[in-house]
A and B are shown apart, each in its own frame.
Chain A
Amino acid sequence: QKVSVEMLDHLEHLALVDFRDSEGVERLQKAIQFADQLQEVNTDGVEPMDSVLEDRCLYLREDDVTEGNCTKELLENAREKVEEYFVAPPGNIPLPKLEEQDTFLQGS
């Protein structure tokens, strides 16, 4: 079945992606269909696997200070900085609601 406009809008808000046009939405639909093939496998009584690492040993590190003190290097990546602080916009700027948006989804 098709993905609803509300669901698409919800996804756009959560993941900060813009489906942009009908081709983008189509690709999403196809991706979901492709993944849905997993439902055909009977997994009754089978423990889900999280990761191929699940049988590996989780390495425990000693509590020593071995890193840090590289402020200059880290700030090189910052577009804007103020006295060794990274600069970000004031709080999360909420995306406009579906009705207010000027997006492709409006028309669909």
Chain B
Amino acid sequence: MAARGCGGVWRWARQRGAGWPGSGPGPSPRGQRAVACNARGGAVPAGKSGLAPWIPVVGLEIHAQISSNSKLFSGSQVQFAAPPNSLVSFFDASLPGTLPVLNRRCVEAAVMTGLALNCSINKKSLFDRKHYFYADLPAGYQITQQRVPIAVNGSLSYSLCIDNKMSQMVTKTVRIKQIQLEQDSGKSLHDDTRSQTLVDLNRAGVGLMEVVMEPDMCCGEEAAAAVRELQLILQTLGSSQAVMAEGQLRVDANVSVHHPGEPYGVRTEVKNINSMRFLAKAVDYEIQRQIEELENGGTILNETRAFDSKLGCTVPMRDKEGKQDYRFMPEPNLPPLILYDTKSLPDNMNHQQVINIDWIHERLPDLPSVKREKLVEQYGILPEHSFTLLNEDGLAEFFETVVKQTQMKPKKVIGWILNDLFSYLKKHSLTVKESPVSSFLLADLLNLLEKKEISSTAAKRVLAELWKGEGKTPLEIVKEQKLELLQDQKELEQICQAVIDGQENE
């Protein structure tokens, strides 16, 4: 489902007394927004309330775990669930005398992602140390790319529906400030009962691509749509599996509000957003919170807040009080990372030590936007159809397989895929892979329909039966339930005559 753009005018309505759980005066209950922005961006006058409109500004910092066998700077394995501290090398544990060694695959992943996001790839990029103390960061610093990252100045286009109508889709763009390579930290499990933290370093040192999006978005839906498109791109490239539930894609939102014509307001950073749904909620909550705070005469602190998914609100984060001083310094153990293209390729260098940007560019797969266009062109379906096909894992392949096996026109097939099959899947919360009706079965069914052996009403009944997954073929069900269309002229005449006769007798 495509995200809904924040269309129309929102009016501010003060709500006193309606307590927000957990804290004092807070934003009004869900559904009422003081935010005024439309799909074309910017503020819309708040209208009758008489209060000056607010322009919300949303920027994102997205950390995507690189899909690789081993970590960014060491040879320990990258894997989601494993016994604690079993995927940890001496370097990951920051034992003295160990040194970082850069993983080639991680660099390639970052280059692919940079190219897919229209970035300029920096042929020379540098590594730095970012210092802070935390139990899951054994070295006391994270190796990142603060001064000169691997890719800069790109863009990402994404689609939104206006006013909840799939038929009115609009394309928006967000600028990509940069992409940098950096290390992931370990995991802390807080045991409040025994007043201790348990540390697992399996994740420490895993390669991350941090994608920084400029504050070109104005609400939760835009943020969620942009992240969704990035997720699809990463999965298409294979540079990250980007599964939010497994922590492979983490999003921090930077939110501020200001009046039109005035400078940007103080921004807060919202962390701990664990799903796409919560991303939209967290951003919208924070926008509302800031507006209410400011309208009540308060100020916004430049702080880090965490999203509490149970309460649906943001709260200040305990360990992040005060401005951090990361004391950035160049990573002395790593020389600059040099990348080449066909022109600058050195003659006598070991092949394995050279990364050629052009070589990678030539081998990029079709990005989601290109795939969508191809589907529209090839099959004559609508843009919003191809959007849904690509938005659901496996659905596009399912559609194409059915089309290949049936004489029915793709424009008709798409109706069956989206209106019937897809709604069944949604109703039962199943993925395409889990569908009890395979593409072959559906193709069989549609062929019966196309050959006029059954009616469309009958076809729907057969589909309902197929859904039970009892292993029967469409033809078997048709015979069982006697759903064949009568073709015999004489037989039809006899039936009609019988009905007429029956009427006459009344």
Contact = CB atoms under 8 A, between A and B. Distances in A.
Interface of A: 10, 14, 16, 50-51, 53-71, 74-75, 77, 82-92, 94
A84 to B, nearest CB: 5
Contact of B84 (A50, A58, A62, A83): A83
Interface string B142-186: 000000000000000000000000000000000000000000000
Contact of B189 (A61, A67, A85): A85
A74 B93 contact: yes
B223 interface: no
A87 B135 CA distance: 9
A16 B132 CA distance: 11
Interface in B188-220: 188-192, 195-201
B21 interface: no
Of listed A55, A63, A77, residue having the most chain B CB within 10 A? A63
Given A68-B75, A82-B198, A90-B191, 20 more contacts: A51-B330, A51-B332, A53-B332, A54-B336, A58-B335, A60-B103, A62-B104, A62-B105, A62-B352, A68-B88, A71-B84, A74-B201, A75-B85, A84-B86, A86-B201, A87-B199, A88-B135, A88-B188, A88-B197, A92-B134
A65 to B, nearest CB: 4
Interface in B284-307: none
B314 interface: no
21 contacts: A16-B133, A50-B330, A50-B336, A54-B336, A56-B335, A60-B104, A62-B104, A65-B69, A70-B88, A74-B88, A74-B201, A77-B93, A83-B84, A86-B85, A86-B135, A86-B201, A87-B196, A88-B188, A89-B197, A90-B192, A90-B197
Q: Is the interface of A mostly helix, strand, loop or mixed?
A: loop
B68 interface: yes
B309 interface: no
Interface string B96-139: 00000111111100000000000000000010000001110000
A92 B188 CA distance: 12
B319 A88 contact: no
A28 B99 CA distance: 30
A90 B335 contact: no
B332 A58 contact: no
A71 B336 CA distance: 33
B140 to A, nearest CB: 9
A97 to B, nearest CB: 10
Nearest to A69: B86
B336 A68 contact: no
A74 B70 contact: no
A39 to B, nearest CB: 19
A58 B197 CA distance: 37
Contacts of A91: 190, 197, 318-319
Given A14-B327, A53-B335, A67-B74, A87 B102 contact: no
B486 interface: no
B326 to A, nearest CB: 10
B87 interface: yes
Nearest to A56: B335
Q: Is the interface of B mostly helix, strand, loop or mixed?
A: loop
Contacts, number: 144
A24 to B, nearest CB: 20
B319 A85 contact: no
A84 B87 CA distance: 12
Interface of B: 68-70, 74-77, 83-91, 93, 95, 101-107, 126, 133-135, 188-192, 195-201, 318-319, 321, 325, 327, 330, 332-338, 352-353, 355
A14 B459 CA distance: 71
A35 to B, nearest CB: 14
B203 to A, nearest CB: 12
A20 to B, nearest CB: 20
Contacts of B336: 50, 54, 58
A54 B337 CA distance: 10
A61 B77 CA distance: 14
A71 B200 CA distance: 11
Contacts of A65: 69-70, 75-77
Contact of B335 (A14, A54, A67): A54
Contact of B87 (A10, A14, A58, A68): A68
Contacts of B134: 92
A71 B199 CA distance: 13
A78 B327 CA distance: 28
Contact of B319 (A54, A64, A77, A92): A92
A62 B104 CA distance: 6
A90 B196 contact: yes
Contact of B102 (A10, A61, A64, A70): A61
A77 B96 CA distance: 12
A85 B196 CA distance: 11
A75 to B, nearest CB: 7
A14 B133 CA distance: 9
Nearest 10 A/B pairs, CB to CB: A88-B135, A66-B75, A63-B105, A68-B76, A67-B89, A50-B330, A85-B198, A60-B104, A67-B75, A86-B199
B85 A85 contact: yes
A59 to B, nearest CB: 6
B353 A60 contact: yes
Contact of A61 (B103, B197, B327): B103
